[in-house]
Structure 1
Protein backbone atom coordinates (compact mmCIF):
# COMPACT_ATOMS: atom_id res chain seq x y z
CA UNK A 1 0.00 0.00 0.00
CA UNK A 2 1.13 3.58 0.59
CA UNK A 3 3.87 5.14 2.70
CA UNK A 4 2.25 7.86 4.81
CA UNK A 5 3.99 10.47 6.93
CA UNK A 6 1.94 11.67 9.91
CA UNK A 7 3.10 14.96 11.47
CA UNK A 8 1.34 15.97 14.68
CA UNK A 9 2.60 17.31 17.99
CA UNK A 10 0.04 15.18 19.87
CA UNK A 11 1.40 11.71 20.67
CA UNK A 12 -2.17 10.44 21.08
CA UNK A 13 -3.13 11.61 17.60
CA UNK A 14 0.06 10.16 16.09
CA UNK A 15 -0.68 6.82 17.75
CA UNK A 16 -4.35 6.72 16.65
CA UNK A 17 -3.57 7.65 13.05
CA UNK A 18 -0.69 5.18 12.89
CA UNK A 19 -2.83 2.40 14.33
CA UNK A 20 -5.76 3.07 11.97
CA UNK A 21 -3.66 3.39 8.82
CA UNK A 22 -1.34 0.48 9.64
CA UNK A 23 -4.36 -1.77 10.06
CA UNK A 24 -5.46 -0.73 6.56
CA UNK A 25 -2.13 -1.95 5.20
CA UNK A 26 -0.22 1.33 4.95
CA UNK A 27 3.33 1.93 6.14
CA UNK A 28 3.23 4.87 8.56
CA UNK A 29 6.03 7.12 9.78
CA UNK A 30 4.92 9.39 12.63
CA UNK A 31 6.80 12.53 13.63
CA UNK A 32 6.10 15.32 16.12
CA UNK A 33 7.09 18.43 14.17
CA UNK A 34 7.43 19.96 10.74
CA UNK A 35 11.21 20.33 10.95
CA UNK A 36 11.59 16.57 11.48
CA UNK A 37 9.26 15.96 8.55
CA UNK A 38 11.24 18.18 6.18
CA UNK A 39 14.47 16.48 7.23
CA UNK A 40 12.96 13.04 6.63
CA UNK A 41 11.63 14.08 3.22
CA UNK A 42 15.17 14.83 2.04
CA UNK A 43 15.93 11.09 2.20
CA UNK A 44 12.57 9.27 2.20
CA UNK A 45 9.91 9.20 -0.48
CA UNK A 46 6.35 9.14 0.82
CA UNK A 47 2.99 8.98 -0.94
CA UNK A 48 1.13 11.20 1.49
CA UNK A 49 1.65 13.61 4.37
CA UNK A 50 -1.03 14.07 7.00
CA UNK A 51 -0.20 17.17 9.02
CA UNK A 52 -1.73 18.96 11.95
CA UNK A 53 -2.47 22.61 11.32
CA UNK A 54 -1.30 23.94 14.68
CA UNK A 55 2.10 22.75 15.87
CA UNK A 56 4.90 24.54 17.73
CA UNK A 57 8.03 25.64 15.86
CA UNK A 58 6.57 25.02 12.37
CA UNK A 59 2.84 25.00 11.76
CA UNK A 60 1.16 22.79 9.17
CA UNK A 61 0.68 25.59 6.63
CA UNK A 62 4.40 26.39 6.66
CA UNK A 63 5.20 22.68 6.30
CA UNK A 64 2.86 22.41 3.30
CA UNK A 65 4.42 25.44 1.65
CA UNK A 66 7.90 23.89 2.03
CA UNK A 67 6.68 20.58 0.58
CA UNK A 68 5.01 22.30 -2.38
CA UNK A 69 8.07 24.47 -3.06
CA UNK A 70 10.38 21.49 -3.68
CA UNK A 71 10.41 19.72 -7.01
CA UNK A 72 11.21 16.47 -5.19
CA UNK A 73 8.13 16.62 -2.92
CA UNK A 74 5.71 18.76 -4.93
CA UNK A 75 3.43 15.87 -5.99
CA UNK A 76 2.93 14.33 -2.52
CA UNK A 77 -0.70 14.17 -1.46
CA UNK A 78 -1.25 16.50 1.52
CA UNK A 79 -4.06 16.05 4.03
CA UNK A 80 -4.55 18.63 6.78
CA UNK A 81 -5.95 17.41 10.08
CA UNK A 82 -6.94 20.01 12.64
CA UNK A 83 -9.15 20.72 15.63
CA UNK A 84 -10.02 24.08 14.10
CA UNK A 85 -13.37 24.43 12.34
CA UNK A 86 -12.46 27.92 11.16
CA UNK A 87 -13.24 28.34 7.45
CA UNK A 88 -10.21 30.63 7.05
CA UNK A 89 -7.95 27.76 8.18
CA UNK A 90 -9.43 25.56 5.45
CA UNK A 91 -8.89 28.29 2.85
CA UNK A 92 -5.31 28.86 4.04
CA UNK A 93 -4.61 25.11 3.84
CA UNK A 94 -5.98 24.91 0.31
CA UNK A 95 -3.97 27.96 -0.74
CA UNK A 96 -0.83 26.32 0.69
CA UNK A 97 -1.44 23.22 -1.43
CA UNK A 98 -3.50 20.86 0.73
CA UNK A 99 -5.38 18.20 -1.22
CA UNK A 100 -7.78 17.51 1.63
CA UNK A 101 -8.87 18.73 5.05
CA UNK A 102 -10.28 16.82 8.04
CA UNK A 103 -11.48 18.31 11.30
CA UNK A 104 -10.54 16.55 14.56
CA UNK A 105 -11.86 14.43 15.93
CA UNK A 106 -12.28 12.65 12.60
CA UNK A 107 -13.68 9.14 12.70
CA UNK A 108 -11.49 6.27 11.54
CA UNK A 109 -13.92 5.76 8.68
CA UNK A 110 -13.62 9.42 7.56
CA UNK A 111 -9.84 9.29 7.84
CA UNK A 112 -9.53 6.10 5.81
CA UNK A 113 -12.00 7.40 3.20
CA UNK A 114 -10.04 10.65 2.77
CA UNK A 115 -6.71 8.82 2.55
CA UNK A 116 -8.00 6.30 0.01
CA UNK A 117 -9.65 9.04 -2.08
CA UNK A 118 -6.46 11.09 -2.23
CA UNK A 119 -4.25 8.09 -2.93
CA UNK A 120 -6.59 6.93 -5.69
CA UNK A 121 -6.60 10.44 -7.16
CA UNK A 122 -2.80 10.58 -7.17
CA UNK A 123 -2.51 7.19 -8.90
CA UNK A 124 -5.17 7.99 -11.49
CA UNK A 125 -3.36 11.25 -12.32
CA UNK A 126 -0.20 9.36 -13.32
Structure 2
Protein backbone atom coordinates (compact mmCIF):
# COMPACT_ATOMS: atom_id res chain seq x y z
CA UNK A 1 0.00 0.00 0.00
CA UNK A 2 1.42 3.39 -0.94
CA UNK A 3 1.70 6.27 1.47
CA UNK A 4 -0.99 8.92 1.30
CA UNK A 5 0.36 12.14 -0.18
CA UNK A 6 -0.50 15.34 1.70
CA UNK A 7 -0.02 18.87 0.40
CA UNK A 8 0.78 21.48 3.07
CA UNK A 9 0.39 25.12 2.01
CA UNK A 10 1.65 27.57 4.64
CA UNK A 11 3.86 30.64 4.28
CA UNK A 12 5.54 30.13 7.67
CA UNK A 13 8.65 27.91 7.39
CA UNK A 14 8.33 26.72 11.00
CA UNK A 15 4.74 25.62 10.43
CA UNK A 16 5.83 23.80 7.26
CA UNK A 17 8.62 22.01 9.13
CA UNK A 18 6.40 20.97 12.04
CA UNK A 19 3.58 19.75 9.82
CA UNK A 20 5.77 17.84 7.37
CA UNK A 21 7.78 16.28 10.21
CA UNK A 22 4.58 15.23 11.99
CA UNK A 23 3.02 13.82 8.83
CA UNK A 24 6.17 12.02 7.67
CA UNK A 25 6.71 10.52 11.13
CA UNK A 26 3.13 9.21 11.03
CA UNK A 27 3.84 7.47 7.72
CA UNK A 28 2.46 9.97 5.23
CA UNK A 29 4.29 11.54 2.30
CA UNK A 30 4.13 15.33 2.42
CA UNK A 31 4.99 18.29 0.22
CA UNK A 32 5.22 21.82 1.63
CA UNK A 33 4.54 24.91 -0.47
CA UNK A 34 4.75 28.51 0.77
CA UNK A 35 2.03 30.20 -1.28
CA UNK A 36 -1.14 29.70 -3.26
CA UNK A 37 0.29 30.43 -6.70
CA UNK A 38 3.01 27.78 -6.35
CA UNK A 39 0.50 25.35 -4.85
CA UNK A 40 -1.64 25.65 -7.98
CA UNK A 41 1.43 25.01 -10.16
CA UNK A 42 2.31 21.97 -8.01
CA UNK A 43 -1.24 20.65 -8.39
CA UNK A 44 -0.92 20.75 -12.18
CA UNK A 45 1.61 17.91 -11.94
CA UNK A 46 0.63 16.17 -8.69
CA UNK A 47 -2.47 14.67 -7.13
CA UNK A 48 -2.46 14.67 -3.33
CA UNK A 49 -4.79 12.55 -1.22
CA UNK A 50 -5.43 15.48 1.14
CA UNK A 51 -4.46 19.16 1.49
CA UNK A 52 -3.84 21.32 4.54
CA UNK A 53 -4.18 25.03 3.77
CA UNK A 54 -3.27 28.08 5.82
CA UNK A 55 -5.61 31.02 5.28
CA UNK A 56 -3.45 34.09 5.85
CA UNK A 57 -0.70 34.08 3.22
CA UNK A 58 0.82 36.82 1.06
CA UNK A 59 -0.54 36.99 -2.46
CA UNK A 60 -3.28 34.41 -2.81
CA UNK A 61 -4.87 33.60 0.54
CA UNK A 62 -6.00 30.12 1.50
CA UNK A 63 -9.69 30.72 0.80
CA UNK A 64 -8.93 31.95 -2.73
CA UNK A 65 -6.65 28.93 -3.22
CA UNK A 66 -9.48 26.72 -1.99
CA UNK A 67 -11.81 28.27 -4.60
CA UNK A 68 -9.29 27.58 -7.38
CA UNK A 69 -8.73 24.01 -6.21
CA UNK A 70 -12.47 23.27 -6.02
CA UNK A 71 -12.94 24.68 -9.54
CA UNK A 72 -10.80 21.85 -10.93
CA UNK A 73 -12.94 18.72 -11.47
CA UNK A 74 -10.14 16.37 -10.39
CA UNK A 75 -10.00 18.10 -6.98
CA UNK A 76 -13.72 18.62 -6.39
CA UNK A 77 -13.73 15.93 -3.69
CA UNK A 78 -10.18 16.36 -2.38
CA UNK A 79 -10.28 16.33 1.45
CA UNK A 80 -9.12 19.74 2.66
CA UNK A 81 -8.23 20.91 6.14
CA UNK A 82 -8.02 24.64 6.86
CA UNK A 83 -5.41 25.39 9.52
CA UNK A 84 -5.57 29.05 10.49
CA UNK A 85 -4.32 31.41 13.14
CA UNK A 86 -7.49 33.47 13.33
CA UNK A 87 -10.39 31.08 13.85
CA UNK A 88 -12.70 33.82 12.55
CA UNK A 89 -16.32 32.67 12.09
CA UNK A 90 -16.64 34.45 8.73
CA UNK A 91 -13.48 32.71 7.55
CA UNK A 92 -14.88 29.34 8.63
CA UNK A 93 -18.20 29.99 6.87
CA UNK A 94 -16.44 31.03 3.64
CA UNK A 95 -14.27 27.91 3.77
CA UNK A 96 -17.26 25.66 4.45
CA UNK A 97 -19.02 27.09 1.39
CA UNK A 98 -16.22 25.54 -0.68
CA UNK A 99 -16.48 22.14 0.96
CA UNK A 100 -13.70 21.89 3.49
CA UNK A 101 -13.79 18.84 5.72
CA UNK A 102 -12.06 20.29 8.80
CA UNK A 103 -11.23 23.70 10.24
CA UNK A 104 -8.44 23.79 12.83
CA UNK A 105 -7.12 26.81 14.69
CA UNK A 106 -3.39 27.33 15.29
CA UNK A 107 -1.68 26.31 17.35
CA UNK A 108 -3.24 22.91 16.68
CA UNK A 109 -1.51 20.03 18.40
CA UNK A 110 0.18 17.36 16.30
CA UNK A 111 -2.32 14.89 17.71
CA UNK A 112 -5.27 17.04 16.59
CA UNK A 113 -3.86 17.42 13.07
CA UNK A 114 -3.13 13.69 12.76
CA UNK A 115 -6.61 12.78 14.01
CA UNK A 116 -8.20 15.04 11.38
CA UNK A 117 -5.95 13.64 8.64
CA UNK A 118 -6.58 10.04 9.66
CA UNK A 119 -10.35 10.53 9.91
CA UNK A 120 -10.53 12.14 6.47
CA UNK A 121 -8.32 9.59 4.73
CA UNK A 122 -10.16 6.68 6.36
CA UNK A 123 -13.49 8.02 5.09
CA UNK A 124 -12.51 8.59 1.46
Note the residue ranges of structure 1 that are not aligned, 5 or more in a row: none
Distance 2:39 2:112 in 1: 24
* SS, match of residue 42 in structure 1: helix
Alignment of 1:77-92 (within 5 A): 77-92=79-94
Equivalent residues in 2 for 1:55-94 (5 A)? Answer: 55-94=57-96
Secondary structure (helix, strand or coil) at the match of 1:80 reads strand
SS of residue in 1 equivalent to 2:112: helix
Runs of 4+, deviation exceeding 3 Å: none
Which residue number in structure 1 is paired with residue 7 of structure 2?
Answer: 5
Q: CA deviation at 1:120?
A: 1.1
- Deviation, 1:97, is 2.1
CA deviations over 1:57-100 (Å, ceiling 9, x no partner): 10000111111111122121110000112111111111122111
Q: Which secondary structure does the structure 2 equivalent of 1:66 belong to?
A: helix
Counterpart for residue 121 of structure 2: 119
Q: TM-score, normalised by structure 1?
A: 0.94
Give me the TM-score of the superposition, normalised by structure 2.
0.95
2:30 is matched with which residue?
Answer: 28
RMSD over aligned CA atoms reads 0.8
- Per the alignment, residue 102 of structure 1 pairs with 104
SS in 1 for 2:75: coil
